């Protein structure tokens, strides 16, 4: 029964994973909608909004930017996270893209910092609290291993009540010159889906166990009586 239950649980997980993949695929290819405003922040969750294409407008605060360690298709380096101040006075952290180690300093990025009002299009992402696997954020030393919005805001003096609980992965700018940084549009969207294989494995083990028990019972039923009556 346990093996059958495990197989059925994997079938249930398979349905959930397929629905998740379909939902995310629909979001990343949708027309951008306005990023959730302050009134909607409490309802923003991974299930309701993550990977939704959004748009927002405001001005970047480059003096409050933070570098978060990252590994991407372009190699190891950093995400450049910069708060964006919106017209209503609220703040949204924007992951402007990837920087290689040699582009840590603004002067080495090959283009000027954006000034004035900018438009951003990207994917809404959910905060990543408590750091990465085996590596904890160290705000005092300004070492960041995950995009923990609450911790980043506190470290940069942004009021929690005015800062969105999500961040936005900016899309790549098609007009960006080669060899300039940061490079956006590197969000990795990958959901391992091995539940069907696991379900087959558990059901197969249950079948083998059943066959083995039947074989043992049959042999026992056909075996001669070892202690015949005298």
Q: Does 199 score more than 60 pLDDT?
A: no
114 vs 197, residue with greater confidence: 114
Look at residues 98, 207, 217 and name the one whose alpha carbon lies nearest to residue 147. 98
Compute the distance between CA of residue 156 and CA of residue 178 in angstroms, rounded to an integer: 31
Q: Does 70 score more than 90 pLDDT?
A: yes
Average pLDDT over residues 143-160: 97
Residue the block writes with tokens 């190891």: 76
26-53 pLDDT, tens digit each = 788 999 999 999 999 999 999 999 999 9
What mean pLDDT value characterizes the chain? 86
Neighbours of 111 (CB within 10 A): 13
Neighbours of 51 (CB within 10 A): 20
Q: Does 156 score more than 60 pLDDT?
A: yes
Q: Does 102 score more than 50 pLDDT?
A: yes
Q: Please state the pTM of the whole predicted model.
A: 0.77
Compute the distance between CA of residue 155 and CA of residue 20 in angstroms, rounded to an integer: 34
Q: What is the structure's pLDDT at 60?
A: 98
Q: Does 72 score more than 70 pLDDT?
A: yes
| pLDDT > 90 in the chain, percent | 64
């Amino acid at each position: 029964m346990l093996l059958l239950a495990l197989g059925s649980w994997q079938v249930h997980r398979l349905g959930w994973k397929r629905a998740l993949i379909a939902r995310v695929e629909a979001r990343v290819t949708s027309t951008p909608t306005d990023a959730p405003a302050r009134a909607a922040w409490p309802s923003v969750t991974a299930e309701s909004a993550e990977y939704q294409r959004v748009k927002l407008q405001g001005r970047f605060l480059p003096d409050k930017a933070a570098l978060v360690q990252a590994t991407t298709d372009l190699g190891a380096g950093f995400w450049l996270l910069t708060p964006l101040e919106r017209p209503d006075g609220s703040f949204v952290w924007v992951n402007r893209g990837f920087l290689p180690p040699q582009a840590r300093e603004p002067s080495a990025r090959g283009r000027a910092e954006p000034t004035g009002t900018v438009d951003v299009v990207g994917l809404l992402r959910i905060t990543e609290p408590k750091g990465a696997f085996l590596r904890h954020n160290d705000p005092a030393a300004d070492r960041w291993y995950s995009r923990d919005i609450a911790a980043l805001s506190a470290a940069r003096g942004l009021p929690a009540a005015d800062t969105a609980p999500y961040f936005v992965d900016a899309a790549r700018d098609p007009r960006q010159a080669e060899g300039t940084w940061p490079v956006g549009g590197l969000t990795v969207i990958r959901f391992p889906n091995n539940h069907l294989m696991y379900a087959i494995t558990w059901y197969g083990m249950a079948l083998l166990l059943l066959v083995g028990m039947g074989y043992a019972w049959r042999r026992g039923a056909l075996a001669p009586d070892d202690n015949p009556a005298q």
